Chain A
Amino acid sequence: MLFGSMFARNPAAVRHPDVELIAQVIAREPAACRAFVERLTPVIQSRVNAALVRRKRGSRTEVLDLTQEVFRALLDDGAKILRSWDPERGASLAGFVAIVAERRVASILVSGRKSGAREDPQDTEELQKSDPGPTPEMHTISHDLLERILDQLRARLSDRGYEMFHLFFVEEADVQTICARTGLARDAVYTWKARILRMVKVIAGELEPVEALGSDPATSPRSHKGGRG
């Protein structure tokens, strides 16, 4: 639906080599499976390493486990996520997998959820909630808080939601480009943007009081609401 599948489209045309690779992986062709793991391991591991370093942790077992978990997420449910990759939308397979890895690793580290467990992305539900309140003043946001907001955002957004975040705010693509790359109508694209920004505000509102609690009261730039401390 949202994620178009290359496999159903124009079967007579010559398929992109990576689409062919994915088809062979789904068919469990041994050479393709090995090539797939060999090719994508560095991309996934780089995201795993970076996420572990940011959290000041990381044993060899964790590196291996998390890398394997990302592969498993890509392959779960008949390789649903992998099949959603479409070279015509602009991202390379490695780029697409990197985005999935960023979100999945954050999700596992934040929530402990692994592939196979039920994903429970909240990005469709957050919109229904009441106004989360004002956006924190940007000059008061520390780098650490920003990192934690981003972690939470990755953990709470669906794969689709994080892809939209990437298009809007990392690639800074314009709406027309996003429409072309996702196949969504303009209204739907704007709805996604509003949904993501709303979730950011909700997360910032949740984390900000914690941030203020952990900082020096004398230098803390903002007071915090609530009765914690």
Chain B
Amino acid sequence: MSDRHSDDEGLGAMLGKLAKKQAEDAEAWQNEEHRGDRSELRPIDDLERARMTAALFGEPKKARSLPRWLPIAAIFLLIAFPAALLLIRGANDGGALPRYQLTVASGAAMVRSSTAADDRYSTGSRFELVFQPDTRTEEVPEISVARIDPADPGATPHPLQVPIEKSEGGAFRIRGELGRDFSFPPGPQILRITVGRKNAVQQFHYRFVVSDLER
């Protein structure tokens, strides 16, 4: 019995030593010499960190004591200028759903074109849109996603099944990899994301371009 006990302890001790060694090795991976040619393990840079911060926390909150009518006025202004890249149409009728904000948090595989305003993706790109409510809500929002044909924006949008992760407080994100979780034809795209119920919906239109070039 005591032999078995000491065997158990011995195995625990071996695992402890291994965990300690792994922790030391982990520290070494921050060292460029140790990384060798594995550039994918390079330290996360400022831009990557900024995207991660945005994905985790959303955009920084603005002044907290804005008049209640201001968001509604802003929404009307946005409706009046449909050329805006992201059109946010809030038809919140005073229901419990807070106002949502969209952050594009796609990772390093996404390429921002210097000549076009739209985000560009290709097969294998990480695609991540984060939706953050301006106040926490216990309500789980209804979410639907549809693709609008950019050549015929008046046509009926085509509903899409996409990976949606919801978290506590009402935030959610659409995330996946192009070619694996999403499939779009090459060229300009418009995604319409609808949040909320029938009488209290907010819609977001996200424009981007899919390149047909394999990475």
Bound form: Cα–Cα A35–B108 in Å: 21
Bound form: Cα–Cα A67–B107 in Å: 12
Q: Chain B residues with Cβ under 8 A from A42's Cβ?
A: 30, 43
Minimum CB–CB distance for A34 against chain B, Å: 6
Bound form: Cα–Cα A37–B47 in Å: 12
Interface size on A, residues (CB 8 A): 59
How many A-B contacts if CB must be within 8 Å? 148
Bound form: Cα–Cα A137–B14 in Å: 12
> Contact at B25–A50, with CB atoms within 8 Å?
yes
Can you give 12 A-B contacts (C-beta < 8 A)? A41-B43, A41-B49, A42-B43, A47-B26, A58-B38, A61-B126, A71-B52, A75-B56, A102-B19, A102-B23, A197-B11, A200-B15
Q: A102-B23, A135-B11 are in contact. Are A37 and B49 (CB under 8 A)?
A: yes
B48 located at the interface, meaning its Cβ lies under 8 Å from any Cβ of chain A in the complex: yes
> Contact at B18–A147, with CB atoms within 8 Å?
yes
> Contact at B57–A33, with CB atoms within 8 Å?
yes
A65 located at the interface, meaning its Cβ lies under 8 Å from any Cβ of chain B in the complex: yes
A178 located at the interface, meaning its Cβ lies under 8 Å from any Cβ of chain B in the complex: no
Bound form: Cα–Cα A83–B139 in Å: 24
> Contact at A61–B56, with CB atoms within 8 Å?
no
> Contact at B26–A37, with CB atoms within 8 Å?
no
Interface residues on B, range: 35 or more
Residue of B nearest to A167 (CB): B16
Minimum CB–CB distance for B96 against chain A, Å: 20
Bound form: Cα–Cα A114–B20 in Å: 25
Q: Chain A residues with Cβ under 8 A from B40's Cβ?
A: 58-60, 63
Interface residues of chain A, those whose CB is within 8 Å of chain B, are 28, 30, 33-34, 37-38, 41-42, 45-47, 49-50, 52-54, 58-61, 63-65, 67-68, 71-72, 75-78, 98, 102, 114, 116, 134-138, 141, 143, 146-147, 149-150, 153, 165-166, 168-170, 172, 193, 196-197, 200-201, 204
B29 located at the interface, meaning its Cβ lies under 8 Å from any Cβ of chain A in the complex: yes
> Contact at A45–B25, with CB atoms within 8 Å?
no
Bound form: Cα–Cα A126–B8 in Å: 15
Bound form: Cα–Cα A67–B40 in Å: 13
> Contact at A68–B55, with CB atoms within 8 Å?
yes
Identify the interface centre among B10, B18, B55, B166: most chain A CB within 10 Å of its CB.
B18
> Contact at A169–B16, with CB atoms within 8 Å?
yes
Interface residues in B69-111 by Cβ distance below 8 A to A read 107-109
> Contact at B41–A71, with CB atoms within 8 Å?
no
Bound form: Cα–Cα A169–B107 in Å: 37
Interface residues in B1-50 by Cβ distance below 8 A to A read 4, 7-16, 18-20, 22-23, 25-27, 29-30, 38, 40-41, 43-44, 48-49
Contact among A46, A53, A137 for B30, CB-based, below 8 A: A46
Minimum CB–CB distance for A92 against chain B, Å: 13
Contact among A64, A98, A153, A197 for B108, CB-based, below 8 A: A64
Identify the interface centre among B12, B27, B61: most chain A CB within 10 Å of its CB.
B12
Bound form: Cα–Cα A78–B136 in Å: 11
